[in-house]
Structure 1
Amino acid sequence: MRWGLCPLGPGPAAVARSWGLLRLPCSPRWRGRTRGPLVRSVTGASSQLPSSSNGRYRDTVLLPQTSFPMKLLGRQQPDTELDIQQKCGFSELYSWQRERKVKTEFCLHDGPPYANGDPHVGHALNKILKDIANRYHMMRGSKIHFVPGWDCHGLPIEIKALSELGGKTQNLSAVEIREKARSFAKAAIEKQRSAFIRWGVMADWNNSYYTFDGRYEAKQLRIFYQMFDKGLIYRSYKPVFWSPSSRTALAEAELEYNPEHVSRSIYVKFPLLKPSPKLASLIEGSSPVSFLIWTTQPWTIPANQAVCYMPDAKYALVKCSTSEDLYILAADKVTPVASTLKTAFEVISTFSGADLENGTCTHPLTPDKASPLLPANHVTMAKGTGLVHTAPAHGMEDYSVASQHNLSTDCLVDEDGVFKAAAGPELENKAVLEEGTDAVIKMLRAAKNLLKEEELLHSYPYDWRTKKPVVIRASKQWFVNITDLKATAKELLKKVKFIPGSAQNAMVEMMDRRPYWCISRQRAWGVPIPVFHHKTKDEFLINSQTVEHIIKLVEQHGSDVWWTLPPEQLLPEEVLSQVGGPDALEYVPGQDILDIWFDSGTSWSYVLPGADQRADLYLEGKDQLGGWFQSSLLTSVAVRKKAPFKTVVVHGFTLGEKGEKMSKSLGNVIDPDVVINGGQDPNREPPYGADVLRWWVAESNVFTEVTISSSVLNAARDDISKLRNTLRFLLGNVAGFNPETDSVPVEDMYVIDQYMLHLLQDLANKVTDSYKQYDFGKVVRLLRAFYTRELSNFYFSIIKDRLYCENADDPKRRSCQTALAEILDVVVRSFAPILPHLAEEVFQHIPYLKEPRSVFRSGWIRTSSIWKKPGLEEAVESACAMRDAFLGSIPGQSAAAYSVVIVIEPGLLFEIIEMLQAEETSSTSQLNELMMASQTTLLSQEPRERAADAIELTGTFLINLEGGDIREESSYKVIVTPTTKEKCPRCWKYTAESSEAPCPRCADVLGGK
C-alpha cells in the first residue's frame, strides 16, 4: 500500500471508518459535488459482449438465460395478455382479496358510466385510473371495495332505443318505451363490461349495481321521501331549462354550451307611459320618450311584464341626432349604443336609477298593456343598454323579480317550444326559435318599436343529447331546495381532499351558481316521482304510507309497476279508503320521472359499505364537478349531513392529437378495442394490447386534457419495449441464482451494487408516495428514468463483465445477482398496478420461484433500511465524475482498450476512492469496473513518466461534510493512454499478454474447468 505518499495522518481505513465507508454500513451525511451537473455517460464504453469468442471459450461465458421474450410481435401481445389473464386468475383476484383477513379497507366508489353506447377512450381513461389506484392499495394490504355500476335510465337511452324504430314511436305506450330502453341499456352494459374486463380492471363483476334494479330504485325512492319530508323537495311553477327537441325539463348538468350559436339580437323601444316624479320634471313638454332595451331572445318579448334598472347606476336622457327621438338608457352605454345604432346621442340630462321608481312604460307589442319600471340586482352594464326586458316565464332572475312584485308568470310557450293560443293569432303554433322569432320581429317593426336587428354569435345552451338549442320556460316541476343545503355542503367540502386542489373551488363555484335543482323529467324511462295528483284540483298526495307501499312494490317488481298496475293497487288500503276507494279514486299517478342525476347521486346509499357509508375515493372526469360529485354530495348532505367521499380525484377529457374534441364527423375517434386488437390494416392500426392503453393512461397528465393518437400510442409501446429489454436482462442474469442460499449480505456487496440498492430504496419511496397522491404520471417518469438511465445506460454496462466472465458462484458475481434480484422485485412491483399483464408475465419467468406466484397476491415493494447510505451515493458520484471525463475523451472507442491513471491530491477524496481500489494498479478492482478500462492506476501524486500519446484531463470535486461543517475541494487528474495489453479471447478486455491466451483473471476462472 502507498500510504507513505499521503502526509495527512491516520490511514485510509481509519478515515473511511470514521465516515462509514469501510464495509459501508449506513454512513453519515456528506455531500460531494463536481463542478456542474453529473452525467452518467457511457460514451466510449464497449457495447460488445464476449458471446462469440471464436468458439473456444464460448461455453465458459455465463450469458443470460431466460425464455422471457424480448418482443411480442403482432397478435402475440394481445394473445399473451389473454393467456396471462386466465393463467394468473385475473377474474378471481377481486374475490380472493375480499376474503383476506386484513385490518384496512379501501373503498373506491365507481361513478356509473352511462349505458347508452359502446366503450370509448373516455371509459378507458376513467376505469384504468381507478384500477391502478385499486391495485396499488390492494398490494399495500388493504381490502378493496369496488363495485362497478351503470347509469341506466334517462333521455339519451330512450332516444337511442326509439331511434332504431324510425317513425313508429308515436303510438308506443310508456311500458313499451321502457321495455325497449331497458333492453338497449342491457346490451350496452354487456359491451362495456366485457371491455372493462379486457382492460384488466379488477372489480366485483358478479355484483355490479344498476340504477334500473328494483332494489336500487327502492333505496332511491326512500331518499326522495326523506328529503321531501324535511321540506327539501317541493313542487313549484318556475322557469327551467326546457328542451323542445326532447319535450322535457333539463338540469344544468344536462346542458352543453355551443359557442357557435347564432341569435338574432334586437334593440327595442319601450315607450314611456307614466314617468316617475323625477323623470316628469326632466321631460316636461318634451316629445315622446322611450326606454331602450336589448335582447338576444326576441321571442320572449310577448311575455314581457316589466323593465328592470340598476338603482345605483347613472342613467341618461338622450336625443337621437337622426330621428330627434328621446331615449333613456344607462349613462355608461350612451356611446357604445349610439355607435351600434350608427347615430349620435346628445345627453340632455342624467339621473340616478332610483329616480325611475314608480314609472311605467308601454309594452312594445301591446299598446294597452303597461310594463312597470322595477329595480333589480341582476342588471349589469356588461352588455346591452343597462335596462333589462323582463319575462318572468323565461328567466330565473326575471322570475325572482316577478315573485317580489306579484307579476304574472304565465308561459306562452308549450312543451314543443311553440307559441300557445294565448300568445295571439299571429304567433300561435309558431316555433319560438324559428318562425316565432321572425313573427315577433315583424310585429315590432310594424309597431315602429324596432330600432335594430343583427346576428350575434355567442355561447348558448343546447340539449346534451339531441344537440339542439333549449329555451327557458316556466312549468310545474319538482325541485330540490339547495339553498338550505349549500352552507352545510360547502363546510363539509373543506374536510374533503381534492386532487387537483383547484377542483374544490370549481365545485363550490358551480354550486353557488345553481339557484335550484329541477329533479323532474317529462319522459317514460326512469324512476317515477311517487306522487298522486288530484283529478280536478291542483293538489297532490304523498305521505309515508303511500311511499312505503310503493317502495315495497318497486323492491319486488321494479319501477314498471307505476305503469303496469292499476292506480288503486299503487295505494295502500288504508289510504285508498280515504281518497274515494277503488271505484271512485280521486287521484291518478303522476307522470314525471326523476332526473338521472338524482338516480346516480343516490348510489352511495346502495353501494357504500358499513354504517358510515363513506368512500375513500371518488374518481371521475371534471364534468362531474357539476354532475355526479354534486348530486351525490347534495343527497348525502340532505339525508345525513355528511359527504359521501373523503377524497375526490378529478381528471380531464380525452382529446385528439391536436387537442380537438373527438367526434365521428372529424374521423378522429380512437376505439379502445382497435387499440388492443388492431384494425383492418395492421400496419396503420397495429394491435398494441391493453398494457399500452394502460401505460398511456398512467403517463398522461390526467389532471388536464389528455391527448391520444397513434404517435402517442407508439411512444407508449416503445417505452414498454425498453422496459421489457431491461426485465429480460434482469431475468436472464438471475438464472442459476437462489436468493435463499446465494444472496450476499449487504455489507459484503460490491460498492456499486450497494449503491444501486441505495438508489432502489429512493425509487421505492418516491414511487410509493406518487401512488399515494394518485400521481401515476410521476410513477411512470420515475420508472422510465430508473430503467433507462440508472439501469440500462449505467449499471448494466458496468456489470456485464462480472456477470458473464467470473465463476458462477464467485462472491463478486453473487453480489451483483443479489442486487439484480432486488431490482427486479422492486421494479416489477412498482409498475404492476399500471401494467398488470406484463408484471404477471415477468413473475412467470422468475427462475428461483418454485411455483410462479401472482405479483398481486404477494404484496407491495419491500426494501431494507440498511440500503439507504447517503455517503455511498456521493462516493460513487465522485468516481463517476472521473469516469465521465475518461469516457468523454474517447468518443466511439472501447473503454477496455485504454488504461487510466487517476491522480488525486492527498485528502479525503483520495481515501474515498481508495476504498474502491486498495492496490495501486488493478484490472479487476471495483474502481476499474466502474471505469470500464483495461486497467486503472490510483496515485496521490503525478507519475514520473507518461506516454507521449496520453490524454490529460483535470477536474475538481467538492466534498461537503456534515452539512457544511467540513468542506474540502479536491483536484484530480485523469490520464488516458491506449493499453499495451492484448485482447483476451474470452472476456474481450485488453488484459492478456497474448491474444491467443486468456488474461490472468480468465485463466484463474478456467483453472478448474
Structure 2
Amino acid sequence: MLRASPAVWLPRRAWRWARWMATSGANRSEKARPDARYRETVLLPRSDFPVQLPGRLQPETELEIQQKCGFSELYSWQRQRKTKQGFCLHDGPPYANGDPHVGHALNKISKDITNRFYVMQGYTVHYVPGWDCHGLPIELKALSELEEKQHLSAMEIRQRAKKFAQNVIEKQKSAFIRWGIMADWDNSYYTFDRRYEAKQLNVFHQMYDKGYIYQDYKPVFWSPSTNTALAEAELEYNQQHISRSVYVRFPLLKPPPKLASLIDGTQAISLIVWTTQPWTIPANQAVCYMPNSEYSIVKCTDTGEHFIVAADRVQSTAAILDTEFDVISTCKGVDLESGTCSHPTIPGKQSPLLPANHVTMSKGTGLVHTAPAHGMEDYSVASHHQLPMDCLVDEGGHFTEAAGSELQNKAVLEEGNETVIQMLQAAKNLLKEEKYTHSYPYDWRTKKPVIIRASKQWFINTANLKAAAQEALKKVKCVPASGMNRMLEMLDRRTYWCISRQRCWGVPIPVFYHKTTGESLINRKSIENVIKIVEQHGSDAWWTLPIEQLLPGEALAKVGAHDVQDYVPGQDVLDIWFDSGTSWAYVLEDVGERADLYLEGKDQLGGWFQSSLLTSVATRKKAPYKTLVVHGFTLGEKGEKMSKSIGNVIDPDVVINGGNDHSTEPPYGADTLRWWVAESNVFTEVLIGPAVLNSARDDINKLRNTLRFLLGNLAGFNPETDAVPIADMYVIDQYMLHLLQGYANKVTNAYKEYDYGKVIRLLQAFHNRELSSFYFSIVKDRLYCEEEKDPKRRSCQTALAEVLDTLVRSFAPILPHLSEEVFQYLPFRKESDSVFRSGWMNTSPVWKKPGLEEAVEGACAMRDAFLGSIAGRNALEHQVVLVIEPGLLFELMEVLQQEESSSTSQLNEIMMASQTSLLTEAPRDVIADENIIKGTFLINLEGGDIREESSYKVIVLPAAKSKCLRCRKYTADSPETPCARCMEILSGK
C-alpha cells in the first residue's frame, strides 16, 4: 500500500460515522446519543485511499506510482504485444536550446494522452521521441560565454554546440519522463545522429535528382544580426516596428512617348515615390507603375512644380506633403511606358519606368521604387526586363565599396539609412520624411530586424511542388479543420524555399566549389560518396577529412575535371527545417514511412508540417501523415504573453514540485499539469496561472472524493464471487449501468476526435451529477444499513464496481498517476492489476435499456417535485403519496414498487422519503391542497412508436413513525427501538 496522510485519515471510524450522521440529518449537538450502540452495525465506507494529498505528498506519491507501476517499462511492454492494429504518432522534435517550459508540457502531454488511449484500446503504439539539435540558436548559446568567438574553428564551434544540445536534451528528457510521458526513451532520435544525417542527405539527393533543388542568385530574408539567410518560418513580425519612410522625387528625364505631346513645353516633371526603406534607394534600377490604373499630372499650388502620381493617391499625397495639387491631366498607366527618370542619388544614372502588377493603390503614391537586390517582386521585374541585380550590402548588413565611399561600411539599418536620407536632401530630391509604424520581419532568434538581400543560395522550387502537395493534403484530416485552410494558404504563397545557411553547426550541403571560377560541383557520384562518409563518421567528416576522401574521382570525371585540389567543400549548411522536415525518412522507416498522426502547435502549419509535407511529396508523392492535430500557444491566465519581465512565466517543475514558498507556489504534481492540458481548449490559445492550476487541483480533489466513496463501499466485495447478474439487479443499479454505457461511448468518441476538453466535461458531469448528486445520495441507506451480503446491497456494489472500473479507465490517459493509485487501493486487487496493461473501458451493450430509463426518469421527475417542495428540510422526515392515473407511467412505477406502501422498495429509495405510497386515486383523508404537487411526464419508447403523457400528483405528508436509531429513517414504531428492517438485520448479528 502507498502511504496515506495520517492527518487526513485518523481516527477513521469515528470520523466516518460523524460524516454519515451529519448527512443523514443527525443533530451534531446531541451529547448522549442513544444510537451510539448501533454504530458498529452500520457498514460505513472503509478505505485508506486519501481524499487529497497535501503538500509534498502529491509529487512523492506520483514518483512512487511511476516506479511501482512500471511507467518506464510500459512502452516496451506494449510494443511486444501481438496485435493486428498499430498506431503511429510521429513526435515533432522540440528544439534543444532551453529548459522545458509549459509549451512543451502542452504538446508532450497532449501526445501522451493520445498514445495512452490507443495503448488501452489494444493498439501497438509507435512513438519515438526526438530532438532538433542543429541551428543558429544552439550555436549562439554554446558560444555565448566565450570572449574570443571569432578565433574558433568550425569544428570547435560544432563540438561546443553539440555538447550544449546534449545537456539540454538530458534536462528536457528528464522533465518529459517526470510528466508521465510514455515513449521509447532508449531509442530517441536526434538530428545530429550520423544515421539520421545520412537519411537526410539521401532525401536531399533524391530531390536534387528530380530537379527540385537548385542554386540561384536572388533576394532572400537576411539577418544582419546573425549573418545568415533565413526562411519565412524563421521570421517573427513586429507589428510596432518604426521605419523612417520617405517621399522621394524622381525627375523625369525622358518623357514617355505617349505623353510627349501632352507635357511638351511643361517645365520639369518628377515622379513621387514612397518607400519605408531609404537605404535601398542607391540600389534602385527602375520605377514601377500599375498599367491598368490611372495617373495624374499635377501642379503644386505652393511651388508650381509638376508631379506624376496615381489618380487615386493625389489627395492623400498632397495632404502628407502639406500642400495642394491641381490636376492638369490624367492618363492610363500604360501611357507611362518607355519613360525614364534620373536616379535620385547617383548623378548620370537612369531608372526606366516599367509596368508591374504588384503595385497597389492602398498606400504610397502608386509608383514603386524598385531595387531588385532587395525585394522579391522587384527581383521578378528585373528578371523579366534584364535589369542589373547588384547587391550593395554585405553579409553583416553594411554597404559595400560598390555603394560609394560616402556609404561604404555603414550599417544599412542605422547610419547607412541616415546617410542616404542626407544624400536625398543634398540632391533636393527628398520631399518628406516621417516615422511609419508597420509590421516588419525580425529574426526569431535575435529579435532584431532583417533585411531582404540578394545572394547566391540553394533553394527548393516549391512552385513546382505546390500542386502535388495540395493534392496530397486533400487526403489528410486536420483537427481543427481551419488549420488545413491556413496551411493551404501558406503553401499557395510559397514559391521557393531557401535551404542554405551560412553557419557551421548543421548538416553540410554536399556541394564543392572550384577555387578559381567559383563553379559548383554536385552530382550523383559526389552526393552518394558524402552520404556514405556521413553514415560512417557523421557530418563532422565534412570539416575533418581531406578533400581527396570527400570528392571521388568519378564525380570529377563527370564534369571533365581532373585535379581534386582545384575544389573546396562548400561551407553552407542545410536549413534546420530541412533537418527536421526529413525526420519521416528515419523515424518512420519501420512503419511504412507514414504516421497516423502529427500533433504540434499552430506555428508548425508553416514549419514542420509543411517542410515534412514538401520533402515527402517531392520524393514519394504522398504526405508523411494521415491526420494533423493543431494546438494553440500558452498564455498567462489573463491572455497575456508570458515574459520574465511581467513575471508570469510558469515553470512546469515548479508546478509539480512547488517553489521556494509553498504558500504561493504549492506543489501540484504532474497530474494537475496534465488535467490543465486536457481541460483546455487546445485548438485555441491556452491560459495558465495560479487560478487555473488551483481550479484544476480542486477538480481532481472532487474526483478523488467520488473515487473514495466508490472504493470505501466496495470493501468486502469481490466481483468474481459476489456480483449480481444484471437481470437480478435493482432497477436503479441497472439504470446506472445504462448511464455508464452512454458515458463510456461518448468518452471514447471524444478521445478519437482528440477532444480531451470534452472528455473532462463528460467526466465532471458524470461524477458530479449522475454519481455524487444523484446515485450516491439514493443508495447510501442500502449500502450502509442492509446486511453485508444482502442481494440488494450486492446489487449496488456490482454497479459501483463497474462504475469505478469504467470511471478510472475513462480518465487514465489524462491522469495516469491517479488511475494507477486507485488500483492500488482496490479491495479485490490482484498484484498484477494495472490500468494500462488491462485495456479500455469494458461496458456491455446489454446495459443499454431505454424502457428502464423511462421508469427511473419518471420516478425522478416526481422525486424532484417532492424535494423541491421541502427545500432545506430532511426528506426522511416525510412520507410521499404518488397518485398516478392508470396507464403506462403507473405500470412502470409498479415495477419499482409492487405493494401499495413501502419504506424499502426501489421506488421509495429513489424518492428518498421514509415511506412511499403508490395509488391511482388520492386518499380521501388528504385535505390540505397545498401539500399536493401536480405534474405530467411524457413517455417516449421505441423511437416514438409508443408515446403517452401521464399526469401525476405528489402528496407530501409528515412521516407517521419515529426515527430509527440505526438507519435514521422515520420507520420505527418507537423512538426507543430500531425499525423492523433494522431489527431483522440486528437479530442476525
TM-score (norm 2): 0.96
Matched AA of 2:434: E
For the pair 1:842 / 2:826, whether they are aligned, the reply is: no
Match of residue 585 from structure 1: 565
Matched ranges for 1:429-578 at <5 A: 429-575=409-555
Q: Does 1:733 align with 2:713?
A: yes
Q: Which residue of 1 aligns with 2:56?
A: 75
1:767 maps to 2:747: yes
**Which range moves more in the overlay, 961-970 or 860-869?**
961-970
Q: Distance in 1 between matches of 2:624 and 2:496?
A: 21
Q: What is the CA distance between 1:969 and its match in structure 2?
A: 2.3
**Distance in 2, Cα, partners of 1:329 & 1:950:** 87
Distance in 1, matches of 2:210 and 2:591, equals 22
- Aligned partner of residue 55 in structure 1, secondary structure: helix
Sequence identity (%) = 73
1:966–1:141 distance in 2 versus 1, CA, 3 Å: closer
| Larger displacement relative to structure 2 (53-62 or 978-987) | 53-62
1:983 match: 963
Structure 2 CA distance for partners of 1:410 and 1:47, relative to 1, 3 Å: farther
Q: Pick from 705, 712, 717: which aligns with 2:692? A: 712
Structure 1 contact 632–644 (Cα < 8 Å) conserved: yes
Q: Any idea what the Cα deviations from partners look like across 1:385-428, whole Å, max 9, x if unmatched? A: 11111000000110010000000100000011011111111111
What letter corresponds to residue 224 of structure 1 in structure 2? F
Say how many residue pairs are matched: 965
Cα distance, 1:983 vs structure 2: 1.0
1:63 matched to 2:47? The reply is no
Per-residue deviation at 1:949?
A: 9.6
- Farther off after superposition, 639-648 or 565-574: 565-574
Q: Which position in structure 2 is the counterpart of 1:122?
A: 103
Q: 1:154 aligns with which of 126, 129, 135?
A: 135
Amino acid at match of 1:819: A
Aligned-partner Cα distance in 2 for 1:619–1:787: 30
Check the 8 A contact 2:197/2:507 in 1, yes or no: yes
Distance change in 2, residues 1:175/1:283 (3 Å): same
1:299-698 map, 5 Å: 299-575=279-555, 585-610=565-590, 612-698=592-678
**Which shows bigger deviation, 395-404 or 558-567?**
558-567
Q: Give the equivalent residue in structure 1 for 2:117.
A: 136
Aligned counterparts of 1:48 and 1:824: Cα–Cα separation in 2 = 27
- Give the Cα separation in 2 of the matches to 1:572 and 1:524: 23
The residue that corresponds to 1:185 in the other structure is 165
Instruction: Give CA deviations for 1:791-815 in whole Å, capped at 9, x if unaligned.
Output: 0011000000000100111111111
Q: More deviation in 347-356 or 465-474?
A: 347-356
What is the one-letter code of the residue matched to 1:674?
V
Partner of residue 855 from structure 1, selected from 817, 832, 835: 835
Number of the residue aligned with 1:1000:
980
Classify the secondary structure of the residue corresponding to 1:795.
helix
Aligned residue number for residue 266 of structure 1: 246
Q: Which residue of the partner structure matches residue 72 of structure 2? A: 91
Task: Give the secondary-structure state (helix, strand or coil) at the position aligned to 1:452.
Answer: strand
107, 114, 120: which is aligned to 2:88? 107
Q: Which residue of 2 aligns with 1:173?
A: 153
- 171, 194, 213: which one aligns with 1:214: 194
Preserved CA contact (<8 Å) 2:273 2:369: yes
Is the CA contact (8 Å cut-off) linking 1:898 and 1:978 kept in structure 2? yes
**Paired letter, 2:725:** P
For 1:696 and 1:575, the matched residues in 2 are separated by 57
CA contact (8 A) 2:95 2:131 kept: yes
Instruction: Tell me by how many angstroms 1:609 deviates.
Output: 3.7
Q: Once the two structures are superposed, what CA deviation does each residue of 1:580-626 show, in whole Å capped at 9, x if it has no partner?
A: 99986110000000000000000000000437310000000000000
Q: Report what 1:35 is aligned to.
A: none
Change (3 A) 1:72 1:582: farther
1:247 is displaced (CA, Å) by 0.3
CA shift, 1:67, in A, is 1.5
Counterpart amino acid of residue 714 in structure 1: N
Query: Offset at 1:961?
Result: 4.3
Find the aligned partners of 1:710 and 1:965 in 2 and give their Cα distance. Answer: 53
Shift of 1:951: 2.1
Q: Any conservation in 1 of the 2:130–2:189 contact (CA below 8 Å)? A: yes
> What's the RMSD between the two structures over aligned residues?
1.7
Unaligned runs of 5+ in 2: 1-20
- Aligned partner of 1:310: which letter? M
CA offsets 1:607-660 (integer angstroms, 9 cap, x no match): 004373100000000000000000000000111111000000000000011111
Amino acid at match of 2:637: E
Distance 2:525 2:25 in 1: 85
For 1:262, the aligned partner's letter is: I
* Contact 2:551/2:564, CA 8 A, preserved across alignment: no
CA positional deviation for 1:946: 2.3
8 Å CA contact retained: 2:679, 2:757: yes
* 8 Å Cα contact 1:64-1:733 kept in structure 2: yes
Partners of 1:274 and 1:359 within 8 A in 2: yes
Measure how far apart 1:968 and its partner are: 2.6
Instruction: Report the counterpart of residue 781 of structure 1 in structure 2.
Output: 761
Question: Separation in 2 of the partners of 1:53 and 1:394?
Answer: 95
SS of 1:856 mapped into structure 2: coil
Q: 2:772 aligns with which of 792, 797, 808?
A: 792
How much does 1:852 deviate? Answer: 4.5
SS in 1 for 2:860: helix
Distance 1:503 1:338, change over 3 A: same
1:757 partner SS: helix
Task: Decide whether the 8 Å contact of 2:851 with 2:941 is kept in 1.
Answer: no
Residues of 2 paired with 1:644 and 1:159: CA distance?
Answer: 32
Which amino acid is 1:128 matched to? I
- Structure 2 counterpart of 1:955: 935
**Kept after mapping to 2: 8 A contact 1:46/1:896:** no
The answer to whether 1:240 aligns with 2:217 is no
Which amino acid in 2 is paired with 1:86? Q
- 2:199 and 2:977 map into 1 onto residues whose CA distance is 85
Match of 2:209 in 1: 229
Measure the CA separation in 1 of the matches of 2:22 and 2:908: 13
Task: Provide the C-alpha distance between the structure 2 equivalents of 1:611 and 1:744, rounded to a whole number of angstroms.
Answer: 46
Report SS of the residue matched to 1:929: helix
* Cα deviations by residue, 1:845-867 (Å, 9 ceiling, x for unpaired): 11112325110000111111110
* Paired letter, 1:871: G
What's the counterpart of residue 917 of structure 2? 937
Aligned 8 A contact 2:288 2:368 in 1: yes
- Taking a change above 3 Å as real, the CA distance of residues 683 and 947 of structure 1, as seen in their structure-2 partners, is farther
- Structure 1 CA distance for aligned equivalents of residues 466 and 560 of structure 2: 41
TM-score normalised by length of structure 1: 0.94
Measured against aligned partners, the alpha-carbon deviations of 1:418-453 in whole angstroms (never above 9, x if no partner) come to 111111111111110111111111111111111111
Tell me by how many angstroms 1:825 deviates: 0.7
Which residue of structure 2 lines up, in the alignment, with residue 16 of structure 1? none
Gaps of 5+ in 1: 1-43
- 1:729 is matched by which residue type in structure 2? F
Asked if the contact 1:116–1:160 (Cα under 8 Å) also holds between the matched residues in 2, the reply is: yes
How far apart, in 1, do the equivalents of 2:979 and 2:690 lie? 51
SS in structure 1 at match of 2:951: strand
2:219–2:374 Cα contact (<8 Å) kept: yes
SS of equivalent to 2:267: coil
